[in-house]
Structure 1
């Protein structure tokens, strides 16, 4: 199964690419489907691929472990967000920046899902062979990572403020 060029043009990760770039991308994107309830990626495991959600919905969660002297709360999952294919989100991109990157969250298919998958080796090979494509893709990833970092910083500030208010009472 091959991804359609018209679908590629809708994916924000590929914003700014030229018409001829899409044919090169089509060659490295693999299509894979997951049934509802299937773990797509597991926090803490290593991976070599980036996922683009083409159809369906996923839930992103992290494990919460609280260790206090003499007390340990068992590992529980905290849902962080749900992603739908409406915006063609991508995840798993951290593998591009670290040779020993571990998955930072668990992603589970909430509904039947179809993904475009790009393996790190093929992504890097394409980026190195065509610097224009490489520049655009890395710039788009950097924009998304910057936005996620901004949100994480805001969330930390809110949590720190709430904890400070609780402890000051």
Structure 2
């Protein structure tokens, strides 16, 4: 799969960029393929790249039990969602906002996958050199992060409600 401006126009993180901007963005994208059942990122590890799923399917999971010092409780992974390349989802974007960012979830391929990868330094350099591109990219990422936060808040409310109902019996 070749990265073309036409393909980039379909990817939500690049929504609103002009064709000449897409040509510039294309220069910092690396394409990487992963076999089925391969960990792309692992929760708790450091990373410095953003992944955009171009082809395939991944599963996002998170550890359910906090690792406490001296705790004998085993950590359990909970599948949060499956993502397919139909909507060109991206992940790993938190590295742009925190110098010490650790991956907040594990992403495992469930089919062979192809990703567009953008390294943090390349992203930041591009955004600093071309403020118009940087503004659009950061705005698009912020919209997705806001939606994810809204969903997380709803999930917390549901869990809190369920816990309070159980404890009130």
TM-score in terms of structure 1 length? 0.96
Once residues 71 and 133 of structure 2 are traced to their aligned partners in structure 1, the CA distance between those partners, rounded to angstroms, is: 51
Equivalent positions of 1:52-91 (< 5 A) are: 52-65=52-65, 72-91=72-91
> Are the equivalent residues in 1 in contact too, given 2:67–2:75 (CA < 8 A)?
no
Structure 1 position 115, deviation (Å):
0.1
Contact 2:15–2:140 (Cα < 8 Å) also in 1? yes
Q: Is 1:3–2:3 an aligned residue pair? A: yes
5+ unaligned residues in a row in structure 1: which ranges? none
> Per-residue deviation at 1:94?
0.1
How far did 1:72 drift?
3.6
> Aligned partners of 2:102 and 2:34: how far apart in 1?
21
Would you say the 8 A contact 1:51–1:115 is kept in 2? Answer: yes
Offset at 1:67? 7.1
With over 3 angstroms needed to count, the CA separation of the structure-2 counterparts of 1:127 and 1:66, relative to structure 1, is closer
Q: Which residue of 1 aligns with 2:115?
A: 115
Residue 66 of structure 1 contacts residue 72 of structure 1 at CA under 8 Å; is this kept in 2?
no
For 2:71 and 2:9, locate their aligned partners in 1 and report how far apart those are by CA, in whole Å: 52
Structure 1 residue runs of 4 or more that deviate by more than 6 Å after TM superposition:
none
> Which structure carries more strand by proportion?
1
Superposition deviation, residue 63 in structure 1: 1.0
- Unmatched runs of 5 consecutive residues or more in structure 2: none
**Structure 1 residues 71 and 99: alpha-carbon distance in aligned structure 2, compared to 1, 3 A threshold:** closer
Closer/same/farther in 2, CA of residues 84 and 97 from structure 1, 3 Å limit: same
The answer to whether the 8 A contact 2:45-2:103 is kept is yes
> In structure 1, what is the equivalent of residue 145 of structure 2?
145
Q: 1:16 is matched with which residue?
A: 16
1-side partners of 2:15 and 2:5: how far apart?
13
Per-residue CA shift, 1:67-97, capped at 9, x if unaligned? 79x9743111100000000000000000000
Count of residue correspondences: 168
Output one character per residue of 1:75-132: Cα deviation in whole Å (capped at 9) or x when no partner. Answer: 1110000000000000000000001100000000000000000000000000000000
The CA distance in 2 between the partners of 1:83 and 1:103, in whole Å, is 17
